[in-house]
Amino acid sequence: MKSDSVKARRVPKKSGSKTALAYERVQGVVEEVLHRTSFIDIHTHLFPPAFGKLGLCGIDELLTYHYLEAEFFRSSEMTPQAYFQLSKAQKADAIWRALFVENSPMSEATRGVVAVLQAFGLRRDAPDLAEARNFFRSQNLDAHIKQTLRLAGVDVITMTNDPLDPEEQRFWMSAGERDPRFRAALRLDRILLQWPAHYEQLQALGYSVDSQLSDRSIAEIRRFLADWQQRMAPTYMAVSLPDMRVRPRIPSQFPDESTRGRILMEAVVPASRELNLPLALMIGVRRQVNPRIRMAGDGVGRADLRAIENLCRTYPDNRFLVTVLSRENQHELCVLARKFNNLMPFGCWWFLNTPSIVEEVTRERIEMLGTSFIPQHSDARVLEQLIYKWRNTRSTMAKVLSDSYRLLIRDGRAVVREDIQRDVNRLFRGNFQKWAGVA
């Protein structure tokens, strides 16, 4: 079930291409296959042009990415209060000066901006942003998206779509034609995590719900989810959850009797099964550890993954996509995936998306799960980030996969190019396509 563009990126078949690869040829072929295979990005915060201002792109957005804001406050004397009073362009100027002019941009997030500038042939050592601003301003948006996806080697982008986000809701309610490059993911954070603040929005949309979560409310939430499946055609439902260090001594009680637990167990999990939509659980974020720096102020916490064990055991007919933010949880997630084939580990999320950690986590996943996981998503918030995030993923994957094939050869099994192509397709397309039931 590969799209035409994947076929187009495939290595042309040569006679004799089934010959076993020599040990020293492995790395080159792995790099070539990774380069030529188009990936599906299963989680981003990007939007197509029809969503207007929600879709972020260009140098000012790249520089004011919350990853860079967090780093800015470590290298600048400016207070968060003063920073957040600036215009977007002034913020970008301040970040450029502090992180790119006065310091070497060595962190993952700063190097990313350098790589994007390079990809578009722009100066990386400019004293200001004039050239970059002119360049991005002069792009035709649709052509720019096309070029960015090509440079990133991605042909399908999965958005994050919260039906209770007022800005986004307007677009869905008046939805015109869909952009086939952008697929929806039905995000449930507002409903699941902040019910008291949002149930009235559901009432306003015609659902008979109440703050107390009566049985009727549960049924109405399910109706709401079914309606939004019709409207959005999402590939999965998703929520990001805190570290869940709740009731560690009585894990069978989790998910518990809290509002969140009841909505999850009585509405979302059954709806996910009935609607045949996987449920993505993104676990381990500690929101607003430092509210002064706003979006940059979220942190990480280790989770008790017995909650996931309970879910996978209790609901064998549900499919769960799971990513965990804490490095300390990675091993447990691999072990759980070996126990439950309704669990698909995905991505090295957020603070884990640095080459050294991606390498470590991915090596372990391959050693424990073979190719039965989804190695990465970009989590891009700004269009052009796709370029550096996927470039970095490919370069780490090249090392990890080459080592795996070399070990295989050493152990006595021949490796051919077609094996590598099949495995890369499975990791970066097939596992998700199968899980989400999409082409």
- Nearest residue (CB) to ligand FIX, 160 versus 421: 160
Site residue total, ligand FIX (CB under 6 A): 6
- 70 sits near ligand FIX (criterion: CB under 6 A): no
Residue 69 or 379: which CB sits closer to Zn ion? 379
Say which entry of Zn ion, ligand FIX, none residue 381 contacts (CB below 5 to 8 A, set by partner kind).
ligand FIX
162 binds Zn ion (CB under 5 A): no
Structural tokens at position 112: 């990313």
To 5 degrees, how large is the angle CA 374–CA 379–CA 382?
A: 145
Cβ closer to ligand FIX: 262 or 381? Answer: 381
**End-to-end alpha-carbon separation of the chain, Å?**
6
Neighbours of 330 (CB within 10 A): 21
The answer to whether residue 41 forms part of the interface with Zn ion (CB under 5 A) is no
Asked if 158 contacts 183 with a C-beta cutoff of 8 angstroms, the reply is yes
Q: Does 298 bind Zn ion (CB under 5 A)?
A: no
Inter-residue contact 398 to 23 (CB < 8 Å): no
Cα distances from 35 to residues 8, 10, 198, 394, in angstroms, run: 12, 9, 44, 7
Residue 161 is a binding residue for ligand FIX (CB under 6 A) = no
Q: Nearer to ligand FIX by C-beta: 155 or 379?
A: 379
Amino acid identity of 428? Answer: F
Amino acid at the residue 50: A
The distance from CA 18 to its chain's CA centroid, rounded to whole angstroms, is: 35
> Of the candidates 74, 154, 146, 141, which has an alpha carbon nearest to the alpha carbon of residue 107?
74
357 closest CA partner among 318, 330, 384, 389 = 330
If contact means CB under 5 to 8 A according to the sort of partner, which of ligand FIX, Zn ion, none does residue 350 touch?
ligand FIX
Q: How far is the CB of 14 from ligand FIX (least distance, A)?
A: 41
Contact between 240 and ligand FIX per CB under 6 A:
yes
Q: Least distance (Å) from ligand FIX to the CB of residue 353?
A: 7
CA dist., res. 57 & res. 64, Å (int): 11
Q: Which of 225, 232, 282, 374 binds ligand FIX (CB under 6 A)?
A: 282
304 binds Zn ion (CB under 5 A): no
71 binds Zn ion (CB under 5 A): no
> Should residue 159 be labelled a site residue for ligand FIX when binding is judged by CB under 6 A?
no
Longest dimension (CA), the chain: 68
Is 168 an interacting residue with respect to ligand FIX (CB under 6 A)? no
Stretch 18-37 residues interacting with Zn ion (CB under 5 A): none
Per CB under 6 A, which of residues 385..404 are in contact with ligand FIX? none
Identified binder of Zn ion from the candidate list 298, 304, 379, 423, rule CB under 5 A:
379
Name the packing angle between helices 108-119 and 385-410 (round to 10°): 100
Nearest to 284 by CA among 316, 250, 239, 320: 239
Among 381, 394, 417, 426, binds ligand FIX (CB under 6 A): 381
Residue 248 exposed, middle or buried by CB count within 10 Å (0-12, 13-18, 19+): exposed
Of 379, 384, 419, 423, the one binding ligand FIX by CB under 6 A:
379
Establish if 350 lies at the interface with ligand FIX (CB under 6 A). Answer: yes
Contact set with ligand FIX (CB under 6 A): 160, 240, 282, 350, 379, 381
Contact set with Zn ion (CB under 5 A): 379
